[in-house]
Amino acid sequence: MSRPVFEVGSKYARRDVLRGLGVPDSTSGGPWFTGYHEHDGSFYVFTNVGTPGRTGHDYGNRWEGPNLRWYAKTGTNLSQPLVARLLAGSSPVHVFWRSDNAEPFEYAGEARALETLDTSPVEVLWSFSVPARTYLAAQETRTYWALLANPRRYRILDAIASLDRDLWTVGHSSLRNGDEVLIWQSLDDQGRRGIIALGEVTGEPHLTSDPNNPFWMDPSDGLSERLRAMVNYRQIPGLPLWVGDSTNDGLLLSLAVARAHGGTVFHVSPEEWSAIMAAVGMSHLASPKLDEPERSRGQGRGLSYPHRRAVEKHAMALATSYFSIHWREVTDVSAKAPYDLLCSNPGEELHVEVKGTTGEGDAIVLTRAEVAHSRKFPTAVFVVARIRIDRASEEHPTTSGGEAALYLPWSIDHHHLDPLSYQCELDQAKAVKLQW
C-alpha cells in the first residue's frame, strides 16, 4: 500500500490520518493517542500548541517563527530507544498540530530536529521543509494589540518580573496566535501609567481558568473559565514608558488603550507599533521582515531564532574552551540550572554565566533566577562580544570571531541593574580581557 500524501496546511481529524494509513477505524486509545507513534517506518506526531491537551497537560509547545518548540512525553530522555529513533533523522517525522481541542489537526509538514535538549521531558525544536501555511499567513497579516492591566486587580509588574509567559483574559477580540502585543498598565497608586512590556501571543484564545496564579489581588478572579490567550513576555531595556516621564507623551496618549474606560484588548496600528518600537530603541522589531542593526547594545535582540542560538552556542564553546584550561571538569548545566557552566576542581567549584552578543557587550540580559543565584553562590560572568554571523543560511548560520571578557569575581552590585527588564549595564573596567 502506498503511503498517503498529506497536504501542508490542510486539516485532518486523527481518524482521517489513521484511515489514510490503513489503521482500522475502531482504533481508540493506545499508542496513537499518546502524542506520537512509530508506524511503518515513519513517525506521526499529534500535538497541541498554546493550549493544554485533553488530559490537562500543557507542556508549553509553541511556534518560534517557522519552527516548532515541542516537548515529548513526561519522563522521556534522549537515551530511550523510541526517542532516539524519533530524533535520528533516518525516519520521516510527520507533525500535526492544533490550538483548540475541538478542532482537527493541521498538517505542519515533514519535520527534522533542528535542536534537541536532554531534559525531561525531552525538548525539541522542529524545522520544516515547507513552513506551515498558517505561519506564512500570519507573517503577512500579523496584527498588533495593546493589553490593559489594572494594577488594582493584578500585580502586573511583579508578574512580568517573575514570569516568562502569562495567561491573559481577552474577551471576544480578534487576537490570535502570532500577534504582537504591548502591555499597558493603567494608573497605579504612584500615579504611573504607560507601556511596561512587549509580548507575543503563543496560542489561540480558548476557554480556561487561571487558578494558581499568585498575582491576582483577588484569587477568585482566576477561578472562572474565560476566553484567555497565552502571551510570552519580552524583556526590553527601553521600558517602561510612563506617561509624563518622557518625550513620548504624544504617542502614548494617542493610543486607544490610553483613552480606555473599560475593556482589555485594543487595536494598535502598524504605524503606531513602528513608532513605539522606535521610542524604545527597538525599531528593528517594527516589522518581521527587518533584521537587527549591525551593532547594538545588549545581547543583539532582533536576531532570528537560529541566529540567536548560533551566537549562544559560539559563546558557550569559547567559554568551555577557556575554563577547561583552568578547571579539571567543566559541565554544561544550562538546561537545568540558573547558570551555564559548572567548573569543578577537588574541593572547589565555580558557577559561570555565559553571554554571547553581536553587539559591544556593554550590557547583558539576566533572568530573575540568574540574578538571585549570583547573589547566593560564587559566580563568574563570561561575555563574548562582537560575534560575527555568516548570514548565507538563515536556518544553519555559522559564527566566528568574538572578544571575550571575564568578570571574576562577579558581583551584581558593581553594575547597573534594571530590575524590570533585567538589562545589566556592565562596568567594563572590572573585566579581564581574554586571549588564549
The more confidently predicted of residues 418 and 248 is 248
Residue 149, pLDDT > 60, answer yes
Give the pLDDT band of residue 214 (cuts 50, 70, 90).
very high
DSSP code per residue over 35-72:
SEEEETTEEEEEEESSS--TTS-----EEETTEEEEE-
Q: Worst-scoring range by mean pLDDT, 44-53, 69-78, 197-206, 212-221? A: 44-53
Last residue within a domain, chosen from 285, 318, 345: 285
298 CA to centre of own chain: 18
For residue 222, tell me if it sits in a domain.
Answer: yes
Check whether residue 115 and residue 156 sit in a common domain. Answer: no
Q: What is the pLDDT of residues 320-362, one digit of tens each?
A: 989 998 899 999 988 777 888 999 999 999 999 999 888 888 8
Domain check: are 53 and 161 in the same one? no
Exposure string (b/e) for 392-408, b if CB count within 10 Å is 16 or more?
Answer: eeeeebebeebebbbbe
User: Of the residues 97, 114, 134, which one is the last residue of a structural domain?
Assistant: 134
Q: How many domains does the chain have?
A: 3
At 296 the pLDDT is 41
Report, as an integer, the average pLDDT of 69-74. Answer: 90
Check whether 286 has a pLDDT greater than 50: no
Q: Does 150 share its domain with 272?
A: yes
Q: What is the mean pLDDT of residues 167-195?
A: 89
Do the domain assignments include residue 331? yes
In a domain, residue 297? The reply is no
Q: Which domain does 354 fall in, by range?
A: 305-433
Q: Are residues 167 and 252 in the same domain?
A: yes
Give residue-wise pLDDT tens across range 183-203.
Answer: 999 999 999 999 999 998 887
Same domain, 426 and 327: yes
Does any domain span residue 88?
yes
- 118 and 230 share one domain: no
CATH value at residue 120:
2.30.280
Q: What is d(CA 86, CA 82) in angstroms, rounded to the nearest whole number? A: 6
pLDDT for the residue 344: 93
DSSP secondary structure letters along 98-133: ESSTTSPEEEEEEEEEEEEE--SS-EEEEEESS--H
Q: Per residue in 99-145, pLDDT tens?
A: 877 789 999 999 989 889 888 899 999 988 665 545 444 444 568 99
Q: Is residue 162 domain-shared with residue 100, that is, in the same domain?
A: no
pLDDT of residue 100: 78
- Check whether residue 310 and residue 254 sit in a common domain: no
Nearest to 367 by CA among 163, 195, 62: 163
Residues 186 and 110 in one domain: no
Residue 129 has what pLDDT? Answer: 67
Query: Tell me, what's the pLDDT at 29?
Result: 64
Eight-class DSSP state of 385:
E
Q: 261: Cβ–Cβ under 8 A, 6 or more apart, which residues?
A: none
The predicted-structure confidence for 261-271, as pLDDT tens digits, reads as follows 778 999 898 88
Mean pLDDT of 151-172: 90
CB 29 within 8 A of CB 14: no
Average pLDDT over residues 8-26: 84
| Residues 105, 46 contacting (CB under 8 angstroms) | yes
Q: What's the confidence (pLDDT) of residue 148? A: 96
Q: What is the CATH number of the domain that holds 192?
A: 3.10.590.10
Domain-located, residue 291: no
Question: Which of 258-272, 383-397, 416-430 ranks highest by mean pLDDT?
Answer: 258-272
Tell me which DSSP letter residue 134 carries: H
Q: Which of 106, 134, 162 is the last residue of a domain?
A: 134
Q: How far is CA 151 from CA 154, 186, 230, 259, in A?
A: 5, 7, 19, 17
Mean pLDDT of the chain: 81
Residue range 167-182: mean pLDDT, rounded: 84
Q: Is 290 among the domain residues?
A: no
**Is the same domain home to 161 and 89?**
no
Say if residue 210 is in the same domain as residue 343: no
Query: Do 281 and 319 sit in the same domain of this protein?
Result: no
Q: What is the pLDDT, as a whole number, of residue 130?
A: 62
